[in-house]
Amino acid sequence: MFFKLNVTGLKKGEIVTEKITSKNNDRVKFAVKLRDKDNFRKSQGLFFIEGARLCADAALSGVQIYELYVTEKAMTKYSEYISCVEKVSARCFCVSEEVAEKLGDTKNPQGVFCICKMLDKKTNIGKIKYNGKYIALDNVSNPSNFGAVVRTAEAVGLNGVIVSGGCDIYNPKSQRAAMGSLFRLDVVQTDDLPLLLSSLSENGMKIYAGVPDSGATKITDADMSGGVVTVIGNEGDGISAETCAVSEPVTIPMKGRAESLNAAAAASIMIWEMMR
């Protein structure tokens, strides 16, 4: 039977003195599977994060942290960050450098890792402010693009991000690119983006679909007053026909021979225009 994380009866900051030195330890296998498998994360309701700053951001943002794994070297080097996490983590484990290499999803892991409870990101139209500004991602599949959009959205002051399909928002690459913004920004997930956008339109929001079409309205000429949602599509296929049908097409004027922009770059421009 595969190891199952027991999250009952834990005391915050409980330090487990036994050091984990084997890469074949059941807890290590469990954490690696959380790191690598979307479906396993969903079935467990947990996700895995790596890095001293990101783990501290999670702790300071109120994310429920079940387990912290840290090397002795990291305890010294990142003591301030780790102190934040220890205070709220249910259990804390010291791991060897070999185990840290196994846990790490990066080339040179810092030796700080957490297992956390998933955030409430389910569809809830009540979360959306009808006079707010949102970017919607229609099947964006690159986790680095997703994370970059979330980070930009928070930095510029968007009300939130709407996600339909595409990459798992808890993918480690998504987490790193978002740099903690996922913990703080409203991210609403939906299985039916056209239906959600239609509902928002009925409540007075303007819905724009970003398309590489010179005949569409220039993004700089679009009316961005009041509540607005702009949609960015899949890196290869663009926005679905169903979503386009409930949106007004807008485009980013381009010069040169490039046919389109990277999804994260296009989203950044649209986010700026919404907030300008």
Per-residue pLDDT of 43-99, as tens digits, reads 999 999 999 999 999 999 999 999 999 999 999 999 999 999 999 998 999 999 999
Span 198-203, average pLDDT: 96
Domain ranges of the chain: 14-117, 125-275
Looking at residue 67, what is its pLDDT? 94
Tokens of 40: 């396993």
Confidence of residue 200 (pLDDT cuts 50, 70, 90): very high
DSSP string of the chain?
A: -------SS--TTEEEEEEE--TT-HHHHHHHHHHH-HHHHHHHTEEEEESHHHHHHHHHTT--EEEEEE-HHHHHHTHHHHHHHHTT-SEEEEE-HHHHHHH-SSSS--SEEEEEEPP--S--GGGS-TTSEEEEEES---HHHHHHHHHHHHHHT-SEEEEESSS-TT-HHHHHHHTTHHHHSEEEE-S-HHHHHHHHHHTT-EEEEE---TTSEETTTS---SSEEEEEEBTTTBS-HHHHHTSEEEE----SS-----HHHHHHHHHHHHH-
**The residue to which tokens 């912290």 are assigned:** 68
Are the beta carbons of 48 and 97 closer than 8 angstroms? no
- Per residue in 107-152, pLDDT (tens digit) is 889 999 999 999 876 656 667 999 999 999 999 999 999 999 999 9
To the nearest 10°, report the CA torsion of 188, 195, 134, 250: 150
Class of domain 125-275: alpha beta
Q: Report the candidate in 13, 14, 18, 11 with the shortest Cα–Cα distance to residue 94.
A: 18
Class of domain 14-117: alpha beta
pTM, to two decimals: 0.87
Q: How far is the first Cα of the chain from the last one, in angstroms, to the nearest whole number?
A: 55
**The residue to which tokens 């006079």 are assigned:** 131
